[in-house]
Amino acid sequence: MEQAKISQGQLRAARGLLGWSQATLADRAGISSMTVKRAEGSGSPYPAQGALSAIRAALEDGGVQFIEENGGGAGVRLRRREP
């Protein structure tokens, strides 16, 4: 099953919610900082799908949920922590 595309803004917002630098995200995703920078819209070429999947997985492991477009716009939020 293919994941919904996430925007550059969602990536930046997700990283911001976690308080992670680009270097921290890169380390947790097992990719280079330059790849994170390109994924967030600060360079070219755009990263390969495998790199984007690794970024998404790292952010989700950190507690981020990606919200698909639902009439109110796509977004991100932190998962509710279990008590």
What is the residue range of 30's domain? Answer: 8-78
Residue 27, in any domain of the structure: yes
Residue 81's alpha-carbon distances to 16, 18, 50, 64, 78, in angstroms, are 18, 14, 28, 11, 9
Q: How confident is the model over 12-28, as pLDDT tens digits?
A: 999 999 999 999 999 99
Q: Do 32 and 43 form a contact (C-beta atoms < 8 A)? A: no
Those residues with Cβ within 8 angstroms of residue 5's Cβ, 6 or more apart along the chain or in another chain: none
Residue recorded with tokens 């900082």: 33
pLDDT beyond 60 at 1: no
CATH number of residue 18's parent domain: 1.10.260.40
> How many domains does one find in the chain?
1
pTM metric for this prediction:
0.86
Q: How confident is the model over 36-70, as pLDDT tens digits?
A: 999 998 767 788 889 999 999 999 999 999 988 77
